[in-house]
Amino acid sequence: MKKLFIVLAVCILSGCTNKTQQAQDCAQGFLDAFIANDFNGAAVFCSDDFNVDFNRAMEDFSKLEDSVKIMIQEQCSKLKANVNSVQRINESDTFIVCYNIVRSCADSTGAGSCQELLDSKLVVVDGKVVSLNN
């Protein structure tokens, strides 16, 4: 009986860990694709409802002049997203994922310092991003 209880406890804990890891992976995948200007790749990580708003916003990016897009892509290539924490809300499948965006720590000589540009959060429900920076 004691072994059964231990096995059940391990299964429950691993289920929680898997959901937390899934939320972290979802957030990191979304952020990495977004920073890389891979908006179709980022959209894969979004819920259907959020995807509508996200795609509408990304249409504006596609309307920019090519020279502006190139400049944005060059600047984004120097950025990195870091997931700092994942917090489950009331034992549901809703997670608050805190992250920051930093400028590359290394300059052309391999030295330099990181510069934090943004410290924010997003919400993941059932393994999909449902809101950003709320």
Return the number of other C-beta atoms located less than 10 Å from residue 30's C-beta: 26
What CA–CA distance (Å, rounded) separates 89 from 7? 25
Chain length of the chain: 134
Judged against a pLDDT cut of 80, whether residue 23 lies above it is answered with yes
Strands (E), 10-114: 79-88, 94-103
**Closest by alpha carbon to 34, among 24, 22, 46?**
46
pLDDT at 39: 92
Please measure the distance between the N-terminal and C-terminal CA atoms of the chain and give it in whole angstroms: 46
Give per-residue pLDDT as tens, 27-66: 999 999 999 999 999 999 999 999 999 999 889 888 999 9
Give per-residue pLDDT as tens, 89-108: 988 899 999 999 998 766 55
pTM above 0.95, yes or no: no
CATH number of the 2-132 domain: 3.10.450
The neighbouring-strand residues paired with 132 are 122
Residue 104 tokens read as 């590359």
